């Protein structure tokens, strides 16, 4: 059968509801089609048909595709999904019969045909067999933004489209980490969506739009909406934060300090919660090198400083919060591991900062990142020690190394060396060799996740202090740690979870 012997399939977007928002192309095709198909629930009413009605001729064949189920349960042997798959197959067969007879078929789709649209199920079953054209339509996302009169995204902001049917935890994580969002498919999912917005700290920003451009249209702050009144044809919108402009700082308001872990490197290591806190902050405070890893946002003030002024930095952040600012103090890795959380909490427990709210948002640690690159060297008990003697005497460091080595713990050694500290690695190596075999595996991980990442394994006896700097972390194996070269040439390091009986 050639293309000329069949009809043509059209997936036609109707826009958000107002018939005047159809494209000229969509209106023309609806008026010329031999067959007009549209979906409906079992009650028989079709919103799609009501939108297209002004453009129908009156003598066309109409194919009403009635869903066997919508949200209710079914006794179909394949369950809900099985019932729908069977329906789509039957609907596609009905349309194929018209196409085979040479009739052009228009399938009406609210919004855009390929954006959460029913048409896409026909497209997947028919587009490879018949000549097909998809006519885009104005989405409910665009209509909602227009009705609110608020920008969705500006500059480098990211817009996330989410179905409200996602689990609450997933919704919360995605809402916390994005700049702007639109949540579709509300109705019965509204309570879950509202909780997710609240848990993500975004409820005050959220707007509600119901039946945009249609009769009964309603907009409101989402927090004020009664869940019992929410229909399926509604969306939740988190508009552009840039569009909202910087939040005014109320006089005598108390803000908040959130200490945020950036992970060991770039955005792939950043948690959704951390990403959201960075976006919501009015001010960023931290070591300049770490602040430079955070994207610049209009209206957000960045306060960079040297790496050796942690106490001053903490007090500065708390003072900003006392004046009503929402401050994110940034730390590499996890803020509670040799980082800014301690400095902030120490200052926050003294006057005049005792009443300033402080939260800690965790991050991926350098030790865990390095371990993942090597294999599983931290698979059993391990200890974390900083070799820096800037804030504690070397005698204390040595005492802790001896205790951990005597206990046969794997060791993660932070801050091993710098331009001003060149002896610690050699001293630690010699001390550990009193307790460990010379061939004990040592993972040397530098700039993990960064552009100059280098991870390799050496023997403890061969550990060269000249190859270690502040961007390096060392993982020293226990007596049980294995370094094995596999068939593909890669070497993996792992510490078994079983330990020989004493």
Query: Are 295 and 371 within one domain?
Result: no
Question: Does 62 fall in a domain?
Answer: yes
Whether 265 maps to a domain, the answer reads: yes
With a CB cutoff of 8 Å and minimum separation 6, the contacts of 135 are: 10, 11, 12, 13, 23, 25, 26, 29, 113
Quote the CA–CA distance of 476 and 443 in Å, as a whole number: 7
- DSSP character at residue 170: H
Residues 102 and 160 in one domain: no
Quick one: 340 and 389 in the same domain?
no
Alpha-carbon span 184 to 237, nearest angstrom: 9
Q: Verify that 225 and 317 share a domain, yes or no.
A: no
My answer on whether 183 and 297 are in the same domain is no
Is 325 in the same domain as 303?
yes
> What is the DSSP annotation of 315-340?
HHHHHHHHTT-EEEEEESB-TTSSSH
User: What distance in Å separates the CA atoms of residue 377 and residue 412, rounded to the nearest whole number?
Assistant: 10
Please, are residues 46 and 169 in contact by the beta-carbon 8 Å criterion? Answer: no
Do the bridges between strand 180-184 and strand 207-210 make them parallel or antiparallel, or are there none, so unpaired? unpaired
Total number of domains in the chain = 4
Helix ranges (H only) for 149-259 are 168-177, 190-199, 241-244
Q: Is residue 251 part of a domain?
A: no
Domain boundary among 223, 244, 265: 244
The verdict on residue 300 lying in a domain is yes
Asked if 106 and 147 sit in the same domain, the reply is: no
End residue of a domain, out of 99, 116, 138 = 138
What pLDDT shows up at residue 240? 93
Residue 385 tokens read as: 């020690």
Domain residues for the domain of 201 are 141-244
Based on the domain organization, do 354 and 450 belong to the same domain?
no
* 214 vs 28: CA distance, rounded Å: 22
Decide if 371 is inside a domain: yes
Region of 488 please: left (phi>0), alpha (psi -120 to 50) or beta: alpha
State residue 96 phi and psi, 5-degree precision. -60, -35
Q: Any idea what the CATH number is for the domain that residue 189 is in?
A: 3.30.950.10
Looking at residue 4, its pLDDT comes to: 55
- 69 belongs to a structural domain: yes
Q: What is the pLDDT at residue 267? A: 87
Residue 500 within a domain:
no
Burial per residue of 32-51, b for 16 or more beta-carbon CB atoms within 10 angstroms, e otherwise: ebbbbbbbbeeeeebbbbeb
3-state DSSP assignment of residue 215: coil
> Would you say residue 501 lies in a domain?
no
* Under-70 pLDDT residues of the chain: 1-4, 70-75, 78, 243-252
What are the angstrom distances between the C-alpha of 222 and each of 165, 184, 202, 310?
A: 17, 13, 10, 40
**Residue where a domain terminates, one of 361, 394, 429:** 361
The CATH number of the domain where 43 resides is what?
A: 3.40.1010.10
Regarding whether 223 and 165 lie in a shared domain, the answer is: yes
pLDDT at residue 208 in the model: 98
Looking at residue 7, its pLDDT comes to 97
Neighbouring C-alpha atoms within 13 Å toward the C-beta of 237: 28
- Measure the CA–CA gap between 196 and 206, rounded to whole angstroms: 11
Per-residue 3-state assignment (H helix, E strand, C coil) for 258-319: EEEECECCCHHHCCHHHHHHHHHCCEEEEEHHHHCCCCCCCCCEEEEECCCCHHHHHHHHHH
Q: Phi and psi dihedrals of 62, rounded to 5?
A: -115, 130
Would you state the pLDDT for residue 80? 72
Give the length of the chain.
Answer: 502
319 and 409, same structural domain? Answer: no
User: Are both 120 and 165 inside the same structural domain?
Assistant: no
Tell the residue number behind the tokens 């903490």, with chain if given: 314
CA–CA separation, 168 and 226 (whole Å): 19
**Rounded to 5°, angle at Cα 238 from 234 and 242:** 150
Helices 168-177 + 272-280 axis angle, to 10: 40
The single-letter DSSP state of residue 40 is: E
Co-location of 12 and 128 in the same domain: yes
């Amino acid at each position: 059968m050639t293309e000329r012997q069949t009809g043509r399939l059209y997936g036609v977007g109707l826009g958000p509801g107002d018939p005047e928002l159809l494209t000229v192309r969509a209106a023309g095709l609806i008026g010329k089609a031999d067959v007009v198909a549209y979906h409906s629930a079992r009650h028989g009413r079709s919103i799609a048909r009501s939108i297209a009605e002004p453009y129908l001729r009156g003598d066309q064949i109409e194919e009403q595709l009635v869903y066997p189920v919508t949200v209710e349960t079914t006794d179909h042997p394949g369950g809900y999904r099985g019932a729908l798959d069977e329906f789509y197959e039957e609907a596609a067969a009905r349309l194929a019969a018209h196409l085979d007879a040479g009739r052009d078929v228009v399938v009406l789709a609210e919004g855009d045909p390929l954006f959460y649209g029913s048409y896409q199920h026909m497209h997947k079953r028919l587009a490879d067999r018949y000549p097909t054209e998809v006519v885009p339509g104005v989405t409910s996302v665009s209509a909602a933004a227009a009705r609110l009169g608020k920008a969705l995204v500006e500059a480098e902001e990211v817009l996330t489209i989410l179905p409200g049917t996602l689990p609450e935890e997933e919704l919360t994580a995605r809402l916390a980490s994005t700049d702007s969002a639109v949540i579709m498919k509300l109705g019965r999912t509204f309570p879950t969506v509202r909780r997710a917005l609240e848990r993500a700290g975004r409820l005050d920003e959220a707007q509600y739009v119901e039946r945009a451009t249609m009769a009964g249209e309603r907009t409101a702050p989402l927090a004020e909406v009664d869940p019992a009144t929410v229909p399926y044809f509604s969306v939740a919108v988190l508009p552009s934060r840039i569009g909202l402009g910087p939040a005014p700082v109320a006089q005598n308001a108390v803000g908040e300090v959130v200490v945020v872990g950036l992970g060991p490197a770039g955005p792939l290591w950043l948690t959704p919660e951390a990403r959201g806190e960075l976006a919501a902050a009015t001010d960023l405070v931290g070591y300049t090198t770490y602040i430079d890893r955070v994207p610049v946002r209009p209206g957000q003030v960045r306060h960079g400083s040297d790496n050796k002024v942690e106490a001053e930095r903490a007090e500065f952040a708390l003072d900003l919060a006392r004046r009503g600012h929402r401050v994110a103090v940034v730390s590499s890795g996890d803020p509670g591991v040799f980082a800014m959380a301690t400095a902030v909490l120490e200052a926050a427990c003294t006057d005049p900062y005792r009443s300033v709210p402080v939260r800690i948002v965790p991050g991926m640690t350098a030790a865990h990142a390095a371990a993942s690159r090597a294999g599983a060297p931290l698979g059993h008990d391990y200890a974390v020690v900083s070799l820096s003697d800037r804030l504690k005497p070397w005698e204390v460091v040595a005492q802790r190394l001896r205790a951990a080595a005597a206990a046969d713990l794997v060791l993660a050694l932070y801050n091993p060396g710098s331009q001003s500290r060149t002896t610690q690695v050699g001293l630690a190596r010699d001390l550990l060799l009193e307790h460990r075999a010379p061939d004990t595996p040592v993972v040397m991980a530098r700039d993990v996740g960064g552009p100059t990442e280098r991870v390799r394994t050496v023997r403890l006896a061969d550990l060269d202090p000249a190859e270690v700097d502040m961007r390096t972390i060392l993982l020293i194996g226990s007596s049980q740690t294995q370094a094995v070269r596999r068939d593909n040439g890669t070497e993996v390091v792992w510490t078994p979870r079983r330990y020989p009986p004493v």
